A and B are shown apart, each in its own frame.
Chain A
Amino acid sequence: MFLSRIVLRDLDSIDSPVSMASSKKVVTRDEWERKLRDVKIRKEDMNRLVMNFLVTEGFVDVAEKFRIESGTQPEIDLATITDRMEVKKAVQSGNVQEAIEKINDLNPTILDTNPQLYFHLQQQKLIELIRAGKISEALEFAQEELAPRGEENQTFLEEIEKTVALLVFEDIKNCPYGELLDVSQRLKTASEVNAAILTSQSHEKDPKLPSLLKMLLWTQNQLDEKAAYPRINDLTTAELQDPSI
């Protein structure tokens, strides 16, 4: 039974043009490697890709070192990264007021043109007040600053309600909205701030490299439908896997 199946398959591949046509095109490793070798990639472009990553992710010292070692000019003034990272750090460590002031120093239009960002910063400020146990200050801030914003916008209102609910629980860690007190909430707000500053500097908010990696995965998936070819399955080693036929 096993044997006959093998024989049949062999026959198939020998003289059935129909099955040949319907099966995927197979590209051997040799052929593929030749194609890979023919690709011309400029070193400067790869350097720029790496620089773009360092700059966008805010690695200012690293970017400076890379500029010296590779001669690659960063796409924006490195000093602006320092400012951006300071704002980000302020949010990450819970100093929201400091962050707001720094953003306004950097570019006063950022908060004016981003009501959602401004709201999230104020919400974060309220969260920090509650975390610090400054109840009366928190109440005052919520009523004077946040409540009017909730009247403008339904989503804001819901967010305010969730945040204020934290006040009602003595054991805030176990309150249903306790996740607002997580570090992840600070990181979320911080990355929103980061993106807004980058956008204000006419810079993409995300580095190019991850999207190219995704493009590679996507393109390989798409090509799988048409051909069997050596794939890269592990991006960290970039080793070619022989096509399974």
Chain B
Amino acid sequence: MVANHESEAASAAAPGAGATVDPMRLASRWRSPAEWEFAAAELDAEPLPSELNTVNSSGLFAVVSTDKLSVKYLGSHLHGHDVGVVQADRPAPTRRAVYYFEMGVKNAGYKGQTSIGFTSGSFKMRRQPGWESNSCGYHGDDGYLYRGQGKGEPFGPKFTSGDTIGAGINYLSQEFFFTKNGSLVGAFPKDIKGPLYPTVAVHSQGEELTVNFGKEPFCFDIEGYILEEKMRQQSMTDKLKLEENISHVIVRSYLLHYGYQDTLNSFDMANATDPPGSRQNGHREPPEMYGLSHRKLLRQLIMSGDIDSTFKRLEEWYPQVIKDEKSVICFLLHSQRFIEYIRAEQLEDAVTYARAKLASFLTHKAFEGLLKESVALLAYEKPAESCIGYLLDCPQREFVADAVNAAVLSTNPAMKDPESCLYSCLERLLRQLTVCSFERRAFNNDQGDAFLLHKEVRNCERSHRS
């Protein structure tokens, strides 16, 4: 029944060339800011190492303190199998550009044989990291790097009491790297697969270490390092050549698609007079020209909150879009009308309107989220300051305006691809980039960071502020 209803709504909203444009897809994109945050967190979420593992450690030779962030050697150091080695409680996360942690050598003890590195889950917990296969370690007594063979190789300076030593995995370059007192010591290829645990070890009387999994600021400028690595990555992609003016073409088609006509005209004018020949080079007019000035006006009306006029204009220009009272477009417009009543503090009108126009949508599951939150606005004395105050913000109007825009585009008899009504060229490119980037990471054993537009845009704004 519900499914039937949905398909009715879709076909009613898109009588165009018999193609099926489902603006419900736009509605399914509707999310409250809380949902956005949740979704973003979910994509990035990965358990992080936060403390030392007190269960699976060589308890005979080392003791981890109660804060689970420091370790001390207990044994008497007789041979190579009485190492006090401790792993972190969880493996290093992989869905990021770089993972990094540090240890502080509180006391280098009798022989200064502290070490730091990464080990696999099956690591023998009585050996130094790097002595066994599937592990690597930087050792304090000789400054050597150990990579799974018994013999180490010259790598960096020795380290002792008072030094801060860091170990990291660079997933972009597929390298391990170590730091000492805030400076990079060196990097080498990461040839170990599978989950890797941050690991530290003590191996002689009196040796004592603390670890920092990021709770405290790092000694090494890890943010700067990541930025540099990303720049290096970018310099690789920067070598690729783009067709000239491609960005102009894409921005222009974005403005066309959404009916930002004033911006578009201004953009065309600027490009006609600006010297660096940024003119359209023979690209055919995109199909989004369709109904441009109507779409612009409809957008303006919705953005100014005038939903009554929007209905009138639609009735006049594109009656098929609002013919079905049960359609998605009608729902979105009605709910927006309701929101505008709330904004104007006409609560009684809002209630009357909701009873007449919105109640019938209550049984429709797809509308549930938006409808419930909209109606909830009635409960607040100052709805703009409530947790659902975002409904009164500009993006909500724009969301409705975009849906109407898509519905109008779908009435174009010349429309070939129904997808093109919903998504601008820019959006399709960004979707492709997102999927490609996530797929690529999946092939890479889930290592590295993947593209998310929101993160990208936010980073860019953060750098403006700093």
Contact of B309 with A by CB under 8 A: no
- Please tell me if the beta carbons of B263 and A237 are within 8 angstroms of each other in the complex: no
Does A61 sit within 8 A of B, measured CB to CB?
Answer: yes
A79 to B36: give the CA distance in the assembly, Å. 33
- From A65, A209, A212, B251 is in contact (CB under 8 Å) with A209
State which of B238, B261, B303 has its C-beta within 8 Å of the C-beta of A211.
B238
Q: Does A41 lie within 8 Å of B436, measured CB to CB?
A: no
Give the contacts of A44-68 with B (CB-CB under 8 A).
Answer: 44-46, 48-50, 52-54, 59, 61-62, 65-66, 68
Q: Which residues of A contact B308 (CB under 8 A)?
A: none
The interface residues of chain B, by DSSP majority, are classed as helix
Within 8 A of A (CB), among B407-466: 424-437, 439-440, 443, 451, 453-454, 456-457, 460-461, 463-466
Once bound together, how far apart are the Cα atoms of A232 and B425, in whole Å? Answer: 11
Q: B249 at the A/B interface (Cβ < 8 Å)? A: yes
Contact B443 A235 (CB under 8 A): no
Of B265, B266, B426, which contacts A50 at CB under 8 A?
B426
Residues of chain A in range 206-229 having any CB-CB distance to chain B below 8 Å: 207-220, 222-223, 226-227, 229
Q: Is the CB of A235 within 8 A of B246?
A: yes
Asked if residues B431 and A227 are in contact (CB atoms below 8 Å), the reply is no
Q: A43-B395, A202-B464 are in contact. Are A217 and B237 (CB under 8 A)?
A: yes
Chain B, residues 243-257, CB within 8 Å of chain A (1/0): the string is 100110111011100
Question: Chain A residue with minimal CB distance to B283?
Answer: A236
B side interface size, CB within 8 A: 70
**Given A43-B402, A44-B395, A238-B425 contact (CB < 8 Å):** yes
Whole-angstrom distance between the Cβ of B414 and the nearest chain A Cβ: 15
Q: Is the interface of A mostly helix, strand, loop or mixed?
A: helix
Check if A219 sits within 8 Å of B436, measured CB to CB: yes
| Least CB distance, B21 to chain A, in whole angstroms | 14
Contacts of A40 in B (CB 8 A): 29, 31, 36, 39
A95 to chain B, nearest CB (A): 14
**A54 CA to B271 CA, complexed, in Å:** 12
CB B424 to nearest CB in A, in angstroms, measures 8
The answer for the CA separation of A232 and B255 in the assembled complex, in Å, is: 21
Docked-complex contact A39 and B260, CB < 8 angstroms: no
Total residues of chain A contacting the partner, CB 8 A:
61
Interchain CB contact under 8 A, A238 and B432: yes
Interface string of B163-191 (1 = CB under 8 A from A): 00000000000000000000000000000
Q: A69 an interface residue at 8 Å Cβ cutoff? A: yes
Across the interface, A212 reaches (CB within 8 A) one of B270, B430, B461, namely B430
Nearest B residue to A27, CB-CB = B439
Do A218 and B236 form a contact, CB below 8 Å, given A39-B431, A40-B31, A62-B266?
yes
Interface residues of B (CB under 8 A from A): 25, 29, 31, 36, 39, 234, 236-238, 240, 242-243, 246-247, 249-251, 253-255, 258, 260-263, 265-267, 269-270, 275-276, 283, 299-300, 303, 394-395, 397-399, 402, 424-437, 439-440, 443, 451, 453-454, 456-457, 460-461, 463-466
10 A-B pairs within 8 Å (CB atoms) are namely A41-B453, A46-B254, A46-B453, A59-B270, A65-B260, A187-B276, A210-B242, A218-B237, A220-B432, A227-B439
Residues of A within 8 A of B (CB): 27, 32, 35-37, 39-46, 48-50, 52-54, 59, 61-62, 65-66, 68-71, 75-76, 92, 183, 187, 202-204, 207-220, 222-223, 226-227, 229, 232, 235-238, 240
Please name 19 further chain A to chain B contacts, defined as beta carbons within 8 Å, in addition to the given A37-B25, A43-B399, sorted by A numbering: A40-B31, A46-B424, A46-B427, A48-B461, A50-B254, A50-B426, A53-B251, A65-B262, A71-B303, A76-B464, A203-B464, A209-B250, A210-B242, A211-B237, A211-B238, A212-B430, A219-B436, A229-B439, A236-B246
